[in-house]
Amino acid sequence: ENILEGKPVVYRQIVVPQPGPKEYCTDSGLVVPSISYELHKRLLSAAERYGLTLERRLEMTGVCASQMTLTLLGGPNRFTPKNLHQRPTVALLCGPHVQGAQGISCGRHLANHEVEVILFLPNFVKLLDSWVTLLFSLFISTDLPDTPVDLIINCLDCHENTFLMDQPWYRAAADWANQNRAPVLSLDPPVSGQGHAVEAKWSLSLCLPLPLAEGAGRVYLCDIGIPRQVFQEVGIKYHSPFGCKFVIPLHSA
Amino acid sequence: ENILEGKPVVYRQIVVPQPGPKEYCTDSGLVVPSISYELHKRLLSAAERYGLTLERRLEMTGVCASQMTLTLLGGPNRFTPKNLHQRPTVALLCGPHVQGAQGISCGRHLANHEVEVILFLPNFVKLLDSWVTLLFSLFISTDLPDTPVDLIINCLDCHENTFLMDQPWYRAAADWANQNRAPVLSLDPPVSGQGHAVEAKWSLSLCLPLPLAEGAGRVYLCDIGIPRQVFQEVGIKYHSPFGCKFVIPLHSA
């Protein structure tokens, strides 16, 4: 009864006003075009106007990114009661921006799932009181860890202030990550040509992908709960490519 | 390298001050005790004091409940590009309380995943402006649907005002659900003896289960992101029973 009769399947269900230089597709062949950072920003502003606040977005991004991370760390095989004494360790590298806050939200959920999270923050970042209380499961540090970690989550880059890349804390963290043997997951990395000092094995983009450089590794896409009508508002014709998932792998088309 | 050497596995990792009348266990045998509604309420208040606001909780509950619902609707087999013309339909029955708001958050994420969502609300409920904009993918109705639906999500009951059960809109919705052939998922149902006018096939409890009646069906538990330290604050010794998941099935121990 779930078999379609006759109607052809449409694989190009997302149409953007100015197609970016890259196109991706999902496992089931749906085309997911990349968009420019400017359009991405307008999309998020529109979502905010419709009530999808930064707080909601941070929570949703945190849950979905932590679900992906828990899978990368080994999923059900790794997280069993028999294994509780060997908790995986994640180094979370965060800059002073929304991307860093997204990382912290992810780290909070990881810590709740018995992952050992070491949060690196540059020492000038003053945490808001309201945040610190949410963070007390994390080990916060302004030094980079000198013990082995299972995974590095890179939230050092933001989409605008590339001058951050010249600062000593950034260089130290990026060098440490590149020299470390643990694989890197970049969360919401900027477009090709900006940032990306850290080579990633995987990258998780939000709602629609930016055109990412090779150094971003394998690209995944995260649903952050933007309704079709908000996409329409910025000129994007949209049908969800996510199916029943909230994080999906993308392939270069 | 992930094999534990010698240490015995502790299956009773959650210890509550006054154990409730029911105990559950997870697939892997971890014991999850039930708690009273009073303790559940104190736990959520403590979480709120630590920054886990209602808005964050609604978002997280919505994402996790919608993930469970998408699985119940058929998961990857149902949600393929070949099936897009046969969208599943969910009837979402919501009362005027936090439980209703949780249902609406769930419905919003379902609608984003191409589920047809019919939201039933009693006609006296005034939606806040800031909500309506988040809801425009849902079909909002004060009449009960007269077309077939695939699943009913029951958010009619709250944990306190049982007088709602005597109101005409409640009785009409509950009778409709009980007479409908579609299976029912109850979201955050109250303890045994309160509410439960609607017989459920499944129930999703939040953070720790209340002692639920038989009519609640098979019990699932949803992680809403409360850190261990908050559990401690209300006298609960806690280690996450969720492993790498955010929703897990519970069994009567």
Task: Quote the mean pLDDT of chain A.
Answer: 89
Does B48 have pLDDT greater than 70? yes
Q: Which tens digit of pLDDT belongs to each residue from A47-64?
A: 998 888 888 899 999 999
Q: Which tens digit of pLDDT belongs to each residue from A205-233?
A: 999 999 998 889 999 999 999 999 899 99
Q: Which tens digit of pLDDT belongs to each residue from A104-156?
A: 999 999 999 999 999 998 877 766 555 555 666 667 777 898 999 999 999 99
Q: Does a structural domain hold residue B13?
A: no
Interface of B with A in 53-112 (CB under 8 A): 53, 55-56, 59-60, 63-64, 67, 70-71, 73-86, 108-109, 111-112
Length in residues, chain A:
253
The secondary element (H helix, E strand) that includes residue B172 is: helix B168-179
Does B1 have pLDDT greater than 80? no
Does A90 have pLDDT greater than 60? yes
Q: Which of B9, B51, B112 sits opposite A134 (nearest CB)?
A: B51
Q: Does a structural domain hold residue B1?
A: no
**DSSP string covering B21-79, please?**
S-EEE-TT--EEE---HHHHHHHHHHHHHTT--HHHHHHHHHHHHHHHHHHHTTHHHHS
Q: CA B222, CA A144: separation in Å to the nearest integer?
A: 34
Q: Hey, is the C-beta of B46 within 8 angstroms of any chain A C-beta?
A: no
DSSP strand pairing (A218-222 vs A202-206): parallel
Please state the rounded mean pLDDT for residues B104-121.
93
Quote the domain boundaries for residue A55: 23-74+85-252
Q: Does a structural domain hold residue A227?
A: yes
Q: Does a structural domain hold residue B132?
A: no
Determine the residue of chain B that is closest to A8 in CA distance: B82
Q: Are B92 and B106 in contact (CB under 8 A)?
A: yes
Q: How many distinct structural domains can be found in chain A? A: 1
Q: Which tens digit of pLDDT belongs to each residue from B174-208?
A: 999 999 999 999 999 998 766 558 999 999 999 99
Q: Using a CB-CB distance cutoff of 8 angstroms, which residues of chain B are in contact with residue A28?
A: 80-81
Q: pLDDT value at position B8?
A: 80
Q: Does a structural domain hold residue A162?
A: yes
Q: Are B128 and A218 in contact (CB under 8 A)?
A: no
Q: How far is A194 from chain B (nearest CA, A)?
A: 31
Q: pLDDT value at position A155?
A: 96
pLDDT class of A193 with cuts at 50, 70, 90: low
Please state the rounded mean pLDDT for residues B98-112.
93
Q: Which residue would you say has higher pLDDT here, B127 or B75?
A: B75
Q: Does a structural domain hold residue A246?
A: yes
Say which CATH number the domain at A188 has: 3.40.50.10260
CB crowding B133-157: b at 16 or more within 10 Å, else e = bbbebbbbeeebbeeebbbbbbbbb
Q: CA B167, CA A242: separation in Å to the nearest integer?
A: 40
Q: Hey, is the C-beta of B37 within 8 angstroms of any chain A C-beta?
A: no
Q: How far is B139 from chain A (nearest CA, A)?
A: 14
Per the CB < 8 Å rule, is B83 touching A223?
no
Q: CA A92, CA A140: separation in Å to the nearest integer?
A: 9
Q: What is the ipTM of this complex?
A: 0.91
Q: Does a structural domain hold residue A18?
A: no
Q: CA B205, CA B197: separation in Å to the nearest integer?
A: 17
Contact pairs from chain A to chain B, CB under 8 Å: 159
DSSP reduced 3-state for B6: coil
Does B5 have pLDDT greater than 60? no
Q: pLDDT value at position B127?
A: 61
Three-state secondary structure readout of chain A:
CCCCCCCCCCCCCCECCCCCCCEEECCCCCEEECCCHHHHHHHHHHHHHCCCCHHHHHHHHHHHHHHHHHHHCCHHHHCCHHHCCCCCEEEEEECCCHHHHHHHHHHHHHHHCCCEEEEECCCCCCCCHHHHHHHCCCEEECCCCCCCCCEEEEECCCCCCHHHHHCHHHHHHHHHHHHCCCCEEEECCCCCCCCCCCCCCEEEEECCCCCCCHHHCEEEEECCCCCHHHHHHCCCECCCCCCCCCEEECEEC
Q: Does a structural domain hold residue B188?
A: yes
Per the CB < 8 Å rule, is B50 touching A133?
yes
Probe site for chain A from B78, B112, B136 (most A CB atoms < 10 A):
B112
pLDDT class of A75 with cuts at 50, 70, 90: very high
